[in-house]
Amino acid sequence: MISYNSDTIVDFLQSEIKLSNADISVVLKHPESKNAPLHMLLWQYGLVNIEQLARILDWLEKQVS
């Protein structure tokens, strides 16, 4: 699993993907948020589209390289 700072990804999601605090909070309130990657839950709940998911994955990859 990719390790990243939660504040950093939230900042990215808000500034680059244009998600609101409410969008992110919806996902974080669900029990599965403890076991599944945030970006996949955002996609599962329809809060990001496939292009946005690809941008998130690219960003995550850059964080570990």
Q: What is the pLDDT along the chain (65 residues), one digit of tens a residue?
A: 444 568 899 999 999 999 999 999 988 888 887 888 899 999 999 999 999 999 999 999 998 87
- What is the per-residue DSSP string for 5-48? -HHHHHHHHHHTS---HHHHHHHHTSGGGGTS-HHHHHHHTTSS
Question: Rounded to the nearest 5 degrees, what angle is found at the Cα of 29, between the Cα atoms of 20 and 31?
Answer: 140
Q: For residue 64, what is the DSSP state?
A: H
Determine contact, residues 62/1, Cβ cutoff 8 Å: no
Task: Provide φ and ψ at 47, rounded to 5°.
Answer: -85, -15
Q: What is the pTM of this model?
A: 0.84
